Amino acid sequence: MKLVKSFAKITTLIAAVLLVQSCSKTKKVTAGVAYNGKPEYAEAAKQVKGKFRVGMECAYAPFNWTQSGKDIKADGWQAVPIYGTPDYAFGYDIMFSKMIADEMGLELEVHKVQWSSIVLGLKSGDYDVIIAGMIYTKDRDKTLDFTRAYYNRDNVMVIKKGSSLSTATTVADFKGCKATTQINTAWSAYVEEIPDVKIIPYPETTAEVVMQVAMGAADCAVLDYPTGYSATLSNPDVSIVRFAQGKGFITPPNCSEAVSVAVNEGNTVLKDAIGRAMDAISWDQAKMNKYMDLAIMTQPLSN
């Protein structure tokens, strides 16, 4: 009888040990990130824990904007949820981010952040990349690393509709104007190319920049062509002046017109993986034009 009891105790003990081991193994599996994507992205996927966390303004149409629902007037596309909010985001940056995330086998997660603190959010680990219409500059390159361009921009003047400036053909034609642009952008260097310019304080968003021109607080504003053109669709009080080649702005030595993905300095694993993904989906000028046209077409008029 004692032998039977001892055997029962031993059996119970073995079963308990096996259960603990089984639970321990299960925890190891569930605590990690199961990655079923392509092997060339496995190291990057491990680093970002299976998610493609992107920081952007969600207030910079047509690159990115906020809307209340996920429906988009374009077949095959839906807006994506903005992390921690009931809202959704869409635009050129979203389409590009989604294609890169899908190619890498990652889940896209969009974080909405003010432009003035977008680099700080990356540095603090709130997200892993910035895809927000940011151009490469030498100053930014001191603390960030950049991919090749995912969009090539040109810059325009936004003016009040009906203004005498509508006949301008060169930057010099804006001599003595009150001018503005978005704060903490490379556009400030372009504003300074206007002879005898009177600088109006730079606002936080491009929407506020356009409003300053529409209300007459500024005579003109420097923005990129997609943003300026989109502004004319949503605001009937403004128009744009697009310069002929060689007649417009001169790109400053420390700037570029390459809109690129930014990652933390030294994060070559993620930067290179994004570069491979761009090559894999054959990202080129034709695709840039295609998806920017789609973004402009689907942009809500309220943005």
CB 250 within 8 A of CB 85: no
What gap in Å lies between CA 79 and CA 52, rounded to an integer?
A: 16
Please say if the pLDDT value at position 17 is more than 90. Answer: no
pTM for this prediction: 0.86
Please say if the pLDDT value at position 26 is more than 60. Answer: no
Indicate the pLDDT class of residue 118, thresholds 50, 70 and 90. very high
Report the percentage of the chain scoring pLDDT > 90.
83
Q: For all residues of the chain together, what is the average pLDDT? A: 90
Q: How long a stretch of residues is the chain?
A: 303
CATH code for 155-241? 3.40.190.10
CB 195 within 8 A of CB 176: yes
What gap in Å lies between CA 60 and CA 63, rounded to an integer?
A: 6
Dihedral angle sign, alpha carbons of residues 148, 151, 154, 157: negative
Q: What is the layout of strands, in order, in the sheet containing 88-90? A: 65-67, 88-90, 80-81
What gap in Å lies between CA 183 and CA 206, rounded to an integer?
A: 9
Domain residue extents for the chain: 39-152+257-298, 155-241
Residues 156-175: pLDDT tens digits?
999 999 999 999 999 999 99
Residues 191-247: pLDDT tens digits?
999 999 999 999 999 999 999 999 999 999 999 999 999 999 999 999 999 999 999
CATH code for 39-152+257-298? 3.40.190.10
Question: Is the fold of 39-152+257-298 the same as that of 155-241?
Answer: yes
DSSP 139-200: TGGGTEEEEEEEEE--EEEEEETT-GGGG--SGGGGTT-EEE--TTSTHHHHHTTSTT-EEP
Nearest CA to 176 among 165, 161, 187? 165
Report the percentage of the chain scoring pLDDT > 70.
88
What gap in Å lies between CA 43 and CA 59, rounded to an integer?
A: 32
Query: In the chain, which ranges are continuous DSSP H helix?
Result: 2-31, 42-47, 92-104, 118-123, 187-191, 206-214, 225-234, 268-280, 285-298
